[in-house]
Amino acid sequence: MASHHPPRTTNHEPRTPWLVRWLGGEHLVLWLVVLSFVGLLPFTPDLASRENLANLLLTLLPLLVLACGQTVVLITGGIDLSACAIMAVASVVGGLAMNGDTGWLTGSPWAAPVGVLLMLAVGAGLGALNGLSVAVLRMPPFMVTLTTMMAGGGLAIWLIRSETIYNLPPAFNALGGRLALATLITVALAGGAHLLLSRTLLGRWLYAIGHNARMAHISGVPVAGVMLAAYVLSGLLAAAAAVLYTGQAETASPLLGQRLLLDVIAATVIGGTSLFGGRGKVLWTLGGVAFIKLLDNSLNLLNCSFFTITMVKGAVVLAAALLDATRCRLLEAEA
Amino acid sequence: MSPEQQRLVMRALDAAPLVLFALVLAGFGALSPSFLAPANLVNVLVQSSAIAIVATGMTFVLLTAGVDLSVGSIMFVAAAVSGKLLLAQGWPPSLVVAGIIALGGLCGLLNGLLIARLGLIAFIATLGTQYVGRGFGMWLTETRAMNLPEAFTQLASNRLLGVPLPVIVAALVVAAAHAFLMRTPRGRQIYAVGQDAAAARKAGVNVRGVLWTVYVLCGLCAGLGGAVALAQIGSVAPTFGANKEFAAIAAAVLGGTSLFGGRGRVWPGTVFGAVLIQGIENGLNHLNADPYLYPLITAGIIFVAVLLDSARGRLRRTLGRRRIRPD
Amino acid sequence: MSALLQFEGITKRFGGVPVLRDITLTVEAGTTLGLVGENGAGKSTLMNILAGNLRSDAGRIFWDGRPFAPAGPAEAAAAGIAFVHQELNLFPNLTIAENLFLTRFPRWGRLPWIRRDALGTQTVRWLREVGLEATPETPVERLSAGERQLVEIARALSLEPRLIIFDEPTTSLSDRETRQFFELMSRLRARGLTMIYISHTLDDVLRLSDRVAVLRDGALVAHGPRADFDAARLVTLMVGRSLNQLYPTRACWEQSVPAPAVRPLLEVHGLTQPGVVRNVSFTLHASEVLGLFGLMGAGRSELARMLFGLEPFARGAVQVAGQPLQGNSPRRRLQHGVAFLTEDRREDGLALEASIADNLALVTLRRHARRGSGWLNRSALAEAVRSIRAAVRLTPTARDTAPARTLSGGNQQKVVLGKWLLAEPQVLILDEPTRGIDVGAKFEIYQLIHQRADAGAGVLLISSELEELIGLCDRILVMRRGELVDELRRPDFDRERILRAALHERTAA
């Protein structure tokens, strides 16, 4: 029953149709950004003004940080609806600690660094609550982060009774307000997230869980720990975004980021990160964030009203979702 | 745990929403006797009628393991259109109410198209329509608040046989929804689709048709809920209906509807959930609690409900495991 | 008597592998056909073609004398064919009555309103028929496995079909329920219903059928009135597959090479989980390939999943290399040097959308990460992937970055095997490692199994292909209904004995 000549196996790698390649292409969104920028320029020459570009960049930075956190969670197949609420709580706690009138750290030379650390700790703590509920108690991410969103929003308002805190330390305001500094911080954070996802053990594990959590568990991936890390990271990045936004506005407010949730999810989904998990990159998210911000900015310059912008954004999300669904269907048909 | 013990735990978890409801009522009653006064209880019912109607629609969607994040925007669009019709066109209130409901159904059709026909994930599709709807409504109202004529707001304070009209409307909706879910073929098929859409398709159920049905019904309920809330509030502000999708989901889940589909009922579940949410707010009011704490407490209670739901789901999977030996 | 159903030259291939070869078979109206065969002999495929779940590649079916090619299950059901599957297709959240009439509720005229009274009485009628004492309003999730099986049968009957296919209907029934079911079958037969009865319990088949058909390796090897057969003859007919697969030999099977020292690696004592396995004890030695045979639903995969910490067990102990296993996560098992290739490649084995390299590296990823930072040494990782690709002979045309989805089944399985082999496990549990893959890839996987054993590892090989186990193993364990019932060493391998042990023998139980 022995043989010395094993039969040969053959394998054909299927050719990918061009439509699938284009739709699934990595740089689709970056192209869209460039195209819409060039296309819009004749209608709003102001778009390319130095002042406007600086403004565009400044408002893009914190959104990018926030969206990086969302990308990490989406890659695991989860979602973090509470990121914006976490941002609000972090902002308020930072404001309470640092402000020059009644702050706990008033007058201390360490006010700004300790305040920032405190904000980050708040973000990590709330993220850990999400993570523990999802990973250990195995609750659905959507509902968990929804309740955190409700509770966080309420907590931020309760802490300072809907007021706004002014008089923050100048050193702190510079973090988000000075363009060079804010850019540096954002590049460091987004770059860090990129390296984490592409070059580290944790990053590979995040993708593996998003692709197939059962398979990952069987393959020895510590699934619960990795999920926890994803939500803590999202919380941390939300807090970092709060530092940038709060510094930019020079005020701490519980209403910070109330309307950002759609922008964040839209940016990541438009970038190509899949809601089903396993697919996503920081670079793609950068494209999505740039697209959303460009849309915002140019529609503003075109004197479109807030409601038009809201409608257009909703339509863009639907278009991105349709694209994602079409892509999935094409891939399935191909398989 | 032996299977028998597991079944006992299962029964306990199934009864948990009702126990939670009773505990909250009893707790508030003990702390503030005026809470349980009949007039106040009626008050709670009136306050919860709009959200009960919207949550009824949401229950249909959740039963198929979907979600509809656009109900708040549907309420807003419906309210904005009816404001226009009342103020600018001078339509009679009854006609306006009919128009609102039809408009809600139309929005539901749009969601149905995206989800049942084009196969989008319910979450992202309805998130998109949520924003489109909110933007459309703001365009209609030009982001200004509209105050409605008394002829319309009167509807909310009318009573029929001593029962406030909003409560009657909610009761009718709940009764119709309950009957639909329990007594019609389509209603029972909703449960089959939520349990296992692939198996339902294999058994010959028109799964797409079921999905269309639930989103249209959810839109209809959102429109009607918007009308009731509009009559109660008396004006359309740009934030009208905002975040009501979360309240509706919370009411359904508090009432024992599972987010994983196939489990839950409008009556008693969702109704009790809606009343519970309003009851908590009302009770905290009676205790003179810090109003800023309301969302925290509500979120905490919803968290517990979701936790119970996922524990139940996991236990059910263990119990449903295939057996090889008749031990 | 007239022929109700005729198969004429039915042929079916899956990915080039023939699973049905030219089946020609007639079922007379009002008779019962017993259909037997080993796992994978083609019984289910044939029935699925009849029930509209699959299309045949060649050949025709005649139903009531007319050509019949159902496009889907609905069409077959409309023609009067009902199928009681081995797996249950019930909705546990609905009541018995609703499960029976989900798509054809009795209504008030044309109104979409369920007539509860009619629903109740009709359901009671079918429940009484199958002998299930439960009210129609009982939710199915409250029923035991056996009761659910009866509901499934009641559902088939309620379609008032002309032909019913029963696929292993008695596996989850208690003795009392089984007796009731057999009484039901004789009532149905008396009423003139035509039936096809598939079972591994040969005595039952012989008792209940008018004619018996034996499938082997996709071909009809015998067909005739039941008087022509007895259990022993059936077993003989079922085994003795054609030799379409070659197996590599191990050096230690030659008499000149001394047998390896017997060192226990995996020791299992009294493993018990109610409803799943009972009192399973065995030892897997170093350098040994130990086969585990059993028919579908014998509990082989469940046992493997318990050993790997994926499912709980109530009693018993497991030791690896003399150390008791701690914790119950796959991660701990890996630390003990245990690896587990699961039965379901697409669900549990691969990330289909992830790249080939990522799939291969996943299990051993931690070794290439710096402690603390988790920074990956990408060149070492690439080197590991390169070496294992060569070792498992993965097709060279596929790039490392291509999604695993784009590979053929055989190459996908090599990726799964490769990721575990990279961990150099001392105990390798393989659950159906060659299911659904082509002949060439099978041979290469066989060689890899032997290589691993020659290197000193113990291999527990689970397969429903008896020939494969006989070709590859040093020892074979036989499992039936969650219990180990026989053990054979290589010199004593005997197909009939193994199959007899694996088949249900009600007289012995």
Cβ distance of C302 and B184 shorter than 8 Å = no
Report how far residue C323's alpha carbon sits from residue C321's, in angstroms, rounded to the nearest whole number.
6
Q: Hey, what are A81's tokens?
A: 């609806």
In chain B, the residue whose alpha carbon lies closest to the alpha carbon of A133 is B307
Smallest CA–CA separation between B168 and chain A, in Å? 30
Cβ distance of B324 and C298 shorter than 8 Å = yes
Q: State chain A's mean pLDDT as an integer.
A: 87
Summarised one tens digit per residue, pLDDT across range A229-286 is: 999 999 999 999 999 999 999 999 888 877 788 889 889 988 888 888 898 999 999 9
In chain B, the residue whose alpha carbon lies closest to the alpha carbon of C142 is B7
In B, which residues are within 8 Å of C274 by CB distance? 2-3, 325, 327
Summarised one tens digit per residue, pLDDT across range A181-194 is: 999 999 999 999 99
Cβ distance of A9 and C402 shorter than 8 Å = no
Report how far residue A243's alpha carbon sits from residue A240's, in angstroms, rounded to the nearest whole number.
5
**Confidence (pLDDT) at B317:** 77
Query: In whole angstroms, how far apart are CA C465 and each of A62, C21, C167, C240, C296?
Result: 60, 18, 19, 12, 11
Name the residue with higher pLDDT: C214 or B14. C214
A266 domain-assigned: no
Residue type, B30: A
Q: Is the pTM of this model over 0.80?
A: yes
- The chains in contact with chain C, meaning 3 or more Cβ pairs closer than 8 Å, are A, B
Out of A18-22, A75-79, C481-485, least confident range? A18-22
Q: Average pLDDT, stretch B249-274?
A: 89
A17 domain-assigned: no
| Full DSSP string of C101-146 | HTTS--BSTTSS-B-HHHHHHHHHHHHHHHT----TTSBGGGS-HH
**Confidence (pLDDT) at C345:** 86
Q: How many domains does chain A have?
A: 1
Smallest CA–CA separation between A307 and chain C, in Å? 39
**Confidence (pLDDT) at C354:** 93
Summarised one tens digit per residue, pLDDT across range B120-148 is: 889 889 989 998 999 999 888 887 778 88
Write out the E strands in B135-206: 146-147, 159-160, 163-164
Out of A68-77, B283-292, C380-389, least confident range? B283-292
Residues in A 65-94 with any Cβ partner in C closer than 8 A: none
A318 domain-assigned: no
Rank A11-20, A313-322, B11-20 by mean pLDDT and report only the highest.
Answer: A313-322
- Angle between helix B294-319 and helix A141-160 axes, rounded to 10 deg: 160
Query: In whole angstroms, how far apart are CA C211 and each of C225, C235, C336?
Result: 4, 16, 53
Q: What is the percent of chain A with per-residue pLDDT over 70, rounded to a whole number?
A: 90
Residues in B 110-129 with any Cβ partner in A closer than 8 A: 114, 118-121, 123-125, 127-129
Q: What is the percent of chain A with per-residue pLDDT over 90, rounded to a whole number?
A: 52
**Confidence (pLDDT) at B76:** 93
User: What residues in chain C have per-residue pLDDT under 70?
Assistant: 1, 15-16, 240-245, 255-261, 504-509
A60 domain-assigned: yes
Query: In whole angstroms, how far apart are CA B92 and each of B82, B153, C190?
Result: 10, 12, 71
> Using CB atoms, which residue from C92, C105, C276 is nearest to B325?
C276
Which pLDDT band holds residue B119 (cuts at 50, 70, 90)? confident
Cβ distance of C112 and B184 shorter than 8 Å = yes
Cβ distance of B125 and A310 shorter than 8 Å = no
Smallest CA–CA separation between C264 and chain B, in Å? 29
**What residue ranges do the domains of chain B occupy?**
47-241
**Confidence (pLDDT) at C241:** 53
Q: State chain B's mean pLDDT as an integer.
A: 88
**Is cis: bond before B268, omega within 30 of 0?**
yes
- The chains in contact with chain A, meaning 3 or more Cβ pairs closer than 8 Å, are B, C
Task: Answer whether A320's CB lies under 8 Å from A269's CB.
Answer: yes
Q: Hey, what are B99's tokens?
A: 């128009």
Q: What SS3 state is found at C297? A: coil
Query: In whole angstroms, how far apart are CA A117 and each of A64, A98, A124, A158?
Result: 20, 11, 10, 22
Summarised one tens digit per residue, pLDDT across range C469-506 is: 999 999 999 999 899 999 999 989 988 899 889 886 54
B313: pLDDT strictly greater than 90: no
Kindly provide the b/e burial profile for residues A227-245, where b requires at least 16 CB atoms within 10 angstroms of the residue's own CB.
bbbbbbbbbbbbbbbbbbb
Q: Average pLDDT, stretch A150-179?
A: 89
A154 domain-assigned: yes
Q: Average pLDDT, stretch A145-174?
A: 89
**Confidence (pLDDT) at A10:** 40
A58: pLDDT strictly greater than 80: yes
Q: Hey, what are B185's tokens?
A: 């073929």
**Confidence (pLDDT) at C307:** 94
Structural domain range at position A234: 50-257
Cβ distance of C173 and B326 shorter than 8 Å = yes
Summarised one tens digit per residue, pLDDT across range B164-191 is: 999 999 999 999 999 999 999 999 999 9
Which pLDDT band holds residue A13 (cuts at 50, 70, 90)? very low
Q: Is C481 on the interface with B (CB under 8 A)?
A: yes
A284 domain-assigned: no
